[in-house]
Structure 1
Amino acid sequence: MSTTFFLVRHAIKEMAIGDVPITPKGILQAQATARRFYNLPITTIVTSPLRRAKETATYIALKTKLTFYEDSRLRERANWGDLPEQTFDEFVAMWERCTRDRDYIPPVGDSAQQAGERLSSFLLELAMKHPSESNIVIVTHGGLITDFLVHTFSENQLNVRHPDFVSVQSDLIPECSITKLIYENGNYKLDFFASVEHLKS
């Protein structure tokens, strides 16, 4: 009785404020990621409502011949542009403070702790709702993935994946990387972390 989750960070996005699309290079990444899932028995695709995630999910859905649906619980901890007149430097400073202090609630968005709990409860809901042995693709954001991992696993467990995981977490999830989780009997197993092998072919 298990559920497999593939946590996919969206493809490379345009560097601009607001709800931005993916770039031409990001499209190639999304297409390569879609090919990675082509021969797998994917049952469901769920995406963040932000454009960069939805566009990435679109390519996966086309290749797997599935539809996807959006869920706001997959949004990022915070997005540049959510707070009017916030500069990029101010956004980065806010983000870094949230990462250092997981309980700090920023002027807009969630604390890292809240974000990690949000994804945790959503994955549990999916595991309870879908049949055993389901394979679910989650297209979301790098910060939310690491917020969840820090919330779910011990620091020692995470340091097996990368030394000083917690302190460098913001740099560990490349665009269109795939993290595979297996949920079984109330526990998560981290099968592989932030894999980009599919982007090298």
Structure 2
Amino acid sequence: MKKFFCLLFLLTSLSAYSQTLKSSGIIVGAGRGVTSYSLPHSVADVPVSIDKANSYFKSKLALELGYRFRLQPTKSRFFYDIDLLAGYNRQEYGANFMLGKNATYAGPSGTIDTFSASVAGAVNYTIVKGLSVGIGVQPTYSFSGAKAFDIPLFATVAYNLKYVELAFSYKQGLLTNYKVNPFENLRLSQWQFSVYVPLFKN
């Protein structure tokens, strides 16, 4: 948790230095995640093997709500976003085991509702008026559900409609510290559609 707040302070300080606040406002995002994972061939101390074909771990819904600060140097095509975000992610999982060639039984299964807090920093470039692309990083701390810390990278394509900005982004998690037995090496990624509504413009 200390690392998270230190990184937040560092990103805010570095971006604010020598930059001009262009706008700030609310950002709302919704999308769906993708979870990659691996499964062991068997469970320790249990004489069964895992039925990988019929086991699953799926991310169903991802939501984000937060506040954005946009900074842009004078007469530059580059601009920078700092987002303070709260997130929600729903995941479903199920593991099945095989006792023999034709005998199977259901193992652990359930739904995980994960709430998180994050700060995202992005570098963006205006291609033509209104259309921009960007890349960034989003350190995220999940404090309920699948508790973990991750540092996803993301890429964004956005179009500014003057009063709102619409964006599509893809986010790829880097760490595999989510733990849900018997799943291993869980890595989260996510695609998302978001709307940025500036409340202040300079």
Larger radius of gyration: 2
Higher share of residues assigned helix = 1
Give the TM-score normalised by structure 1: 0.26
